[in-house]
Amino acid sequence: MRPRRIPMRTCVGCLEVRGKKELIRVVRTPAGSLDVDPTGKKPGRGAYLCANAECLEKALKGRRLENALGVKIDSDTIEKVRARLSAPPPDRR
């Protein structure tokens, strides 16, 4: 039996390629709002971040997160992402 393929994604902060389950997805919904997507399955344009504050700061400073999502990011959304980084990871099965 073949080993199962692991989907890989690139962190917009450090530009390192990691497994999708290791990263946090920030999604721009079809309505235009931004949200943290713990399941990785919400519809919309997504960008991935490593689960550390350094990558978030790099992505915000270089405006990489805004460019990846194609929208201006407000401070409320940044605080949601920061809170998610400090929370324990969800159980994804």
Q: Residue 82, class by beta-carbon neighbours within 10 Å (0-12 exposed, 13-18 middle, 19+ buried)?
A: middle
In a domain, 44, yes or no: yes
| Greater pLDDT, 58 or 88 | 58
Binned at pLDDT 50, 70 and 90, residue 90 comes out as: low
| Greater pLDDT, 93 or 27 | 27
**Residue span of the structural domain in which 14 resides:** 8-86
Each residue's pLDDT tens digit, 47-81: 999 988 899 999 999 999 999 999 988 888 788 77
| pLDDT over 70 at 8, yes or no | yes
In a domain, 51, yes or no: yes
In a domain, 93, yes or no: no
Provide the CB-side half-sphere exposure for 62 (13 A, CA).
12
**Integer Cα distance of 56 and 37 in angstroms:** 15
pTM: 0.84
In the prediction, which pLDDT does 91 show? 58
**Integer Cα distance of 66 and 70 in angstroms:** 6
In a domain, 2, yes or no: no
In a domain, 36, yes or no: yes
Q: What is the CATH number of the domain that holds 78?
A: 3.30.1230.10
Q: How many domains does the chain have?
A: 1
In a domain, 92, yes or no: no
Residue 88: both structure tokens together: 């324990």
